[in-house]
């Protein structure tokens, strides 16, 4: 009984347990079924929860239903756009690889990437799909999606494989497949097939806004221009701006194809106005339409928009831009455009013709600042030796050699020519001649002579240049103090036919005269001075007055005083010369002719008319001498005392005091005589005047029978007055002096140093210091030389004072001790009696003030230089240049401009070359850009050997064009500098700065290259 009870209990428990498991199983299955139901009703969120519950309940179950639940779970997540889909599908593919849903999972991965526009990744997943594992409807979706992903990658052939599988089938993708299929045929150039396909979509709601463009475009591409125009015209105002632009463009292109250019123009303009990014091709075609329509001004505007890229379109645009500018008679811009076209090699015929036109225009414009004409002709001949224009190129090349202004570079080019003909030799003569002139202008006389020599080798080709070469070589020899050779060349010049008509003809006579004069051949000099006086007729008043004075000097040296007086009288009537010198020399000669009364009258006239003349103290001294000769001692004393009082630092002050001692002695006024003699000894020890004063003092003591007094007096003076020491002093000095006079500087220096050590206060200390300094200066021992010059200058006025001050200024300037140099030049100006030294002093002061950075004082000093007479042209240029720079430094731009303007006419000089640039820059800064441009082109026409400032002007010209929004011109000028300028300075970096700023902007503003298609 009990066993039966337990058995029944056990059976009951089993039944309860089984019932529980059955209920649980039924609950999980319900989750799956419920999920299916929810999925069908598109309640993806709830369905996903059911599928998730089912999968979790069957984690170790590999049944098809579990895999299906996992699959549907992910489909729901994808429908809900969950962010972790990539992970979920990859997990499914890995865990449920046995599922028949695997092709679907791979497809879903492809769809995931396609929806994110990651078409390459999408295609990789689509490739993994086994299409046979998909149901028919899904297979259609798959073929479209896989084809679309490949289409977006422009893999058209592969895309067609998928599209062809569903093309023509009645499904939701029918029109889309038709569109993409037609588009692919369009891209492949199968225009008729594409046209047939697009025609089917004309009325399709989804594509009717897109396909008309293709249809019109295909008509155009099939050269069916009329159909293209007819089709596009009704739609020019339909759709958005881009679509309208497309239709206008098709109409324009069709009219262009029909060569009805005037009809095409308004449609190109409208297409460009409507497009957000106008195409280069549209500007290109618009420019050509306007070109063929002879509207060259408008054509240049359009074609200028095409030139940013480096391709055949740019080359062609540049070439036709050049032709447009020629038609507009704007050769300067045409030259730039043809140069640009010639740089490209895409079309050799265009390159050849463009290069020839560029060179020809350079020649016609004389545009060769950096030797472009010659270099470009040589390049043309090298690149196109078989061209039918090569003979013409050689002809132009020969002419270019005869007209170039870049003489240095032209000579280099000519040297490269292996076979030189008469044209080349004729050019060599010319170029060498003008290069010599450039070097002469830059004061490089030695090199200038070499180029004049070179030019004269080919003198038979151009007689006029030969005449000029002799003159300027003579000038160069003259400037280098080679007077014998200068005379020879001047004579050759004078006696050559054609020289008489030149401006240099009288000057050659004047310079021959001076060459003889400087060699102390006074008779020959006088002959040529008189020849100059007779032929010049006083045209150059400064030189005329000077020649009269020099002729007078020659007569004076020859002791022909009457003739000298006659010449000095004529010279005194030429105020532009040196009339004060003329009067003094006339008076002096009258004195030599024993006409003291007239002498005094002339010298008084001098002191009254020219009270500031450096000859006033000389006149007073000579008047004193004449009064002595006439017995008028009071007037003599008055004149001598006036010299000492008014000119205490002059060279005549000690002579005047010596004369006072003599006058008083002759008047038996021994006390006053003794006083003045002793003043000379005390104030000017060691000088010849002190020696003469000692003799006078001795005579007075002797007259007074007081020899002991004289001995005591001399003993108190020191060594230079003691007789035995004076003899030893003299012998030692004379030994050193002999070496100096024989120009044997090395032993001379040693002996002078020995003399100065032995006799530090000797009679000839000044002479020894000066002679030693002169030898050391010539030997290059400048430091010791300067010390001795400073010693000489620190003593009283002597024969050596002026040259010592001049050398002090020069050497201190060389050693960059500019303040000391300036002080030396100031003293020299105050104390100099030689006119040339006063001029040198003023120049030295000016140069020192430049270095001391004192612009206000520099302006005053430069003006003093310019106010002087007989100032060399190069010094006038230098002074004017420093005035300009000083005004610039003081920010007085107007005054700086005035000074620069004076220099800018001569661009052959370094000062003029720089000034020309600053004049153009001034106009630019004032906003007068047209005048600035004109100034720069004038600079280009004139040419210059100083290429740096010309290159700076080119950069300024580029700025002007950039300001006018003519970046094409601006950039071309900068690129021309980059290609042609050879200097090693900052020009290339300056050009690069602007190119780097402007080129990206020009490219960014340029038009798009491709058609934009809305899909």
3-state helix, strand, coil in the chain (%, to 5): 75, 0, 25
Contact present, 949 and 911 (Cβ < 8 Å)? no
Domain 209-298 in CATH 1.25.40.10: yes
Burial grade of 576 (CB within 10 A; 0-12, 13-18, 19 or more): middle
Distance CA 519, CA 524 (A): 10
Mean pLDDT of the 410-416 span: 70
Instruction: Catalogue the long-range contacts made by 921-929 (C-beta closer than 8 Å, 24 or more residues apart).
Output: 921/956, 922/893, 922/896, 922/897, 924/956, 924/959, 924/960, 925/893, 929/960, 929/963, 929/964
Residue-wise pLDDT for 68-77, tens only, equals 888 898 889 8
Distance CA 371, CA 740 (A): 53
pLDDT-derived band at 170, boundaries 50, 70, 90: confident
Residue-wise pLDDT for 599-646, tens only, equals 999 999 999 999 989 899 999 999 999 999 999 999 999 999 999 899
Alpha helices (runs of H) in 593-652, residue ranges in sequence order: 596-609, 616-630, 633-646
Torsions phi, psi for 582 (to 5 deg): -60, -45
Please list the residues that pair with 279 across neighbouring strands: 1008
Q: Do the domains 796-868+871-903 and 2-198 match in fold?
A: yes
Question: Average per-residue pLDDT in the chain?
Answer: 86
**88-102, 408-422, 715-729: which is most confident:** 88-102
Which of 81, 128, 80, 82 is CA-nearest to residue 105?
128
Confidence at residue 18, expressed as pLDDT on a 0 to 100 scale: 40
- 710: Cβ contacts below 8 Å, ≥ 6 apart: 697, 698, 701, 702
pLDDT of 233 strictly over 70? yes
- Per domain, the residue ranges of the chain are 2-198, 209-298, 730-795, 796-868+871-903, 904-1015
Architecture of the CATH domain 730-795: Alpha Horseshoe (1.25)
Q: Which has more pLDDT, 13 or 477?
A: 477
Distance CA 731, CA 311 (A): 91
pLDDT-derived band at 419, boundaries 50, 70, 90: low
Q: Which has more pLDDT, 694 or 392?
A: 694
CB atoms within 10 A of CB 664: 22
Residue-wise pLDDT for 484-508, tens only, equals 999 999 999 999 999 999 999 999 9
pLDDT of 11 strictly over 50? no
- 412: Cβ contacts below 8 Å, ≥ 6 apart: none
- Which uninterrupted H or E stretch holds 543? helix 541-557
pLDDT of 161 strictly over 60? yes
Poorest-confidence range of 206-210, 368-372, 927-931?
368-372
Residue-wise pLDDT for 378-389, tens only, equals 777 777 777 777
Contact present, 572 and 579 (Cβ < 8 Å)? yes
List the Cα angle 206/209/210 in 5-degree steps.
90
Buried b (16+ CB within 10 A) or exposed e, 150-171: bbbeebbeebbebbebbbeeee
Residue-wise pLDDT for 118-138, tens only, equals 999 999 999 999 989 899 999
CATH number, domain 904-1015, options 1.20.1530, 1.20.1510, 1.20.1050, 1.25.40:
1.25.40
Which of 461, 467, 541 is CA-nearest to residue 504?
467
In angstroms, what CA-CA distances link 473 with 433, 503, 868? 10, 16, 28
Confidence at residue 722, expressed as pLDDT on a 0 to 100 scale: 55
Q: Which has more pLDDT, 549 or 332?
A: 549
- 351: Cβ contacts below 8 Å, ≥ 6 apart: 315, 341, 342, 344, 345, 383
What length is written for the chain?
A: 1015
Distance CA 658, CA 689 (A): 7
- 779: Cβ contacts below 8 Å, ≥ 6 apart: 745, 746, 749
In angstroms, what CA-CA distances link 759 with 230, 408, 725? 118, 58, 9
Residue-wise pLDDT for 683-729, tens only, equals 888 788 888 998 898 889 888 888 778 878 877 776 555 555 666 77
Confidence at residue 98, expressed as pLDDT on a 0 to 100 scale: 86
Mean pLDDT of the 879-901 span: 94
Which of 481, 478, 531, 479 is CA-nearest to residue 506?
531
Contact present, 647 and 612 (Cβ < 8 Å)? no
List the Cα angle 371/377/382 in 5-degree steps.
125
pLDDT of 34 strictly over 80? yes
CATH number, domain 796-868+871-903, options 1.10.150.240, 1.25.40.10, 2.40.50.140, 1.20.1090.10:
1.25.40.10
Q: pTM of the prediction?
A: 0.60
pLDDT of 336 strictly over 70? yes
Handedness of CA 810, 815, 818, 820 (dihedral sign): negative
pLDDT of 14 strictly over 50? no
Architecture of the CATH domain 2-198: Alpha Horseshoe (1.25)
Distance CA 407, CA 371 (A): 8
């Amino acid at each position: 009984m009990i066993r039966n009870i337990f058995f029944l209990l056990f059976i009951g428990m089993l039944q309860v347990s089984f019932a529980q498991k059955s209920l649980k199983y039924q609950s999980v299955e319900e989750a799956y079924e419920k999920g299916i139901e929810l999925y069908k009703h598109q309640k993806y969120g709830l369905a996903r929860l059911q599928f998730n519950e089912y999968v979790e309940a069957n984690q170790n179950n590999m049944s098809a239903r579990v895999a299906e639940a996992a699959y549907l779970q992910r489909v729901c997540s994808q429908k809900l756009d969950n962010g972790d889909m990539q992970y979920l599908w990859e997990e499914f593919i890995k865990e449920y690889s046995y599922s028949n849903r695997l092709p679907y999972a791979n497809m879903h991965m492809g769809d995931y990437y396609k929806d994110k526009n990651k078409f390459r990744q999408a295609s990789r997943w689509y490739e993994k799909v086994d299409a046979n594992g998909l149901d028919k409807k899904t297979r259609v979706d798959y073929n479209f999606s896989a084809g679309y992903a490949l289409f977006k990658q422009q893999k058209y052939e592969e895309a067609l494989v998928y599209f062809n599988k569903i093309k023509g089938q009645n499904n939701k993708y029918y029109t889309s497949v038709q569109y993409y299929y037609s588009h692919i045929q369009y891209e492949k150039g199968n225009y008729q097939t594409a046209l047939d396909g697009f025609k089917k979509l004309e009325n399709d709601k989804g594509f009717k806004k897109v396909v008309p463009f293709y249809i019109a475009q295909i008509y155009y591409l099939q050269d069916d221009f009329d159909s293209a125009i007819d089709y596009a015209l009704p739609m020019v105002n339909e759709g958005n701006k881009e679509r309208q632009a497309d239709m206008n463009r098709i109409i324009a292109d069709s009219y262009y194809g029909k060569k009805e250019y005037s009809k095409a123009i308004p449609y190109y303009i409208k297409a460009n106005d409507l497009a957000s990014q106008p195409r280069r091709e549209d500007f290109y075609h618009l420019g050509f339409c306007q070109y063929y329509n002879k509207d060259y001004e408008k054509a240049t505007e359009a074609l200028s928009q095409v030139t940013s890229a480096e391709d055949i379109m740019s080359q062609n645009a540049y070439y036709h831009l050049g032709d447009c500018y020629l038609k507009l008679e704007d050769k300067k811009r045409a030259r730039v455009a043809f140069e640009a076209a010639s740089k490209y090699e895409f079309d050799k015929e265009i390159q050849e013709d463009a290069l020839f036109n560029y060179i020809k225009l350079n020649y016609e414009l004389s545009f060769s600042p950096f030797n472009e004409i010659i270099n470009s002709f040589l390049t043309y001949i090298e690149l196109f030796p078989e061209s039918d224009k090569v003979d013409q190129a050689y002809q132009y090349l020969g002419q270019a050699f005869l007209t170039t202004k870049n003489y240095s570079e032209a000579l280099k080019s000519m040297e490269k020519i292996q076979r030189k003909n008469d044209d080349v030799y004729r050019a060599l003569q010319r170029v060498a001649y003008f290069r010599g002139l450039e070097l002469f202008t830059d004061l490089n006389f030695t090199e200038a002579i070499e180029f004049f020599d070179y030019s004269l080798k080919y003198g038979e080709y151009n007689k006029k240049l030969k005449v000029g070469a002799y003159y300027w070589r003579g000038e160069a020899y003259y400037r280098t103090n080679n007077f014998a050779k200068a005379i020879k060349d001047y004579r050759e010049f004078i006696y050559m036919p054609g020289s008489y008509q030149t401006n240099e003809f009288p000057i050659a006579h004047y310079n021959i005269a001076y060459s003889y004069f400087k060699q102390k051949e006074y008779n020959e000099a006088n002959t040529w001075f008189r020849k100059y006086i007779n032929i010049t007729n006083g045209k150059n008043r400064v030189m005329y007055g000077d020649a009269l004075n020099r002729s007078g000097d020659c007569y004076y040296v020859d002791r022909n005083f009457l003739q000298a007086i006659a010449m000095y009288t004529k010279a005194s009537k030429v105020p532009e010369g040196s009339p004060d010198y003329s009067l003094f020399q006339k008076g002096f000669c009258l004195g030599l002719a024993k006409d003291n009364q007239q002498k005094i009258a002339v010298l008084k006239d001098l002191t009254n008319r020219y009270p500031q003349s450096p000859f006033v103290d000389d006149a007073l001294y000579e008047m004193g001498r004449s009064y002595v000769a006439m017995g008028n001692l009071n007037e003599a004393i008055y004149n001598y005392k006036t010299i000492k009082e008014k000119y205490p630092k002059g060279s005549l002050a000690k002579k005047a005091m010596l004369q006072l001692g003599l006058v008083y002695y002759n008047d038996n006024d021994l006390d006053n005589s003794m006083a003045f003699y002793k003043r000379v000894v005390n104030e000017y020890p060691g000088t010849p005047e002190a020696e003469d004063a000692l003799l006078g003092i001795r005579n007075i003591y002797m007259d007074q029978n007081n020899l002991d007094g004289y001995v005591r007096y001399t003993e108190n003076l020191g060594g230079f007055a003691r007789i035995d020491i004076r003899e030893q002093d003299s012998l030692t000095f004379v030994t050193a002096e002999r070496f100096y006079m024989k120009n044997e500087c090395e032993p001379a220096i040693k002996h002078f140093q020995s003399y100065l050590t032995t006799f530090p206060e000797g009679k000839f200390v000044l002479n020894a210091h000066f002679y030693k300094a002169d030898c050391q200066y010539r030997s290059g021992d400048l430091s010791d030389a300067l010390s001795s010059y400073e010693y000489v200058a620190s003593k009283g006025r002597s024969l050596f004072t002026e040259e010592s001050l001049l050398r002090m200024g020069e050497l201190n300037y060389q050693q960059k001790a500019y303040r000391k140099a300036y002080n030396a030049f100031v003293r020299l100006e105050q104390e100099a009696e030689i006119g040339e030294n006063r001029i040198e002093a003023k120049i030295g002061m000016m140069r020192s003030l430049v270095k001391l950075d004192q612009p206000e004082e520099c302006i005053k000093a430069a003006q003093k230089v310019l106010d002087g007479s007989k100032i060399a042209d190069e010094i006038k240029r230098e002074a004017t240049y420093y005035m300009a720079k000083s005004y610039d430094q003081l920010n007085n731009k107007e005054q700086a401009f005035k000074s620069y303007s004076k220099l800018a006419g001569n661009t052959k000089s370094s000062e003029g070359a720089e000034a020309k640039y600053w004049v153009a820059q001034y106009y630019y800064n004032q906003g007068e850009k047209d005048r600035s441009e004109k100034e720069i082109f004038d600079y280009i026409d004139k040419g210059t050997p100083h290429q740096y400032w010309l290159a700076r002007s080119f950069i300024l010209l580029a700025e002007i064009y950039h300001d006018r929004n003519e970046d094409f011109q601006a950039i071309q000028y900068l690129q021309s500098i980059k290609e042609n300028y050879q200097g090693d300075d900052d020009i290339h970096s300056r050009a690069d700065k602007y190119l780097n700023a402007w080129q990206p902007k020009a490219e960014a503003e340029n038009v798009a290259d491709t058609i934009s298609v809305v899909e």
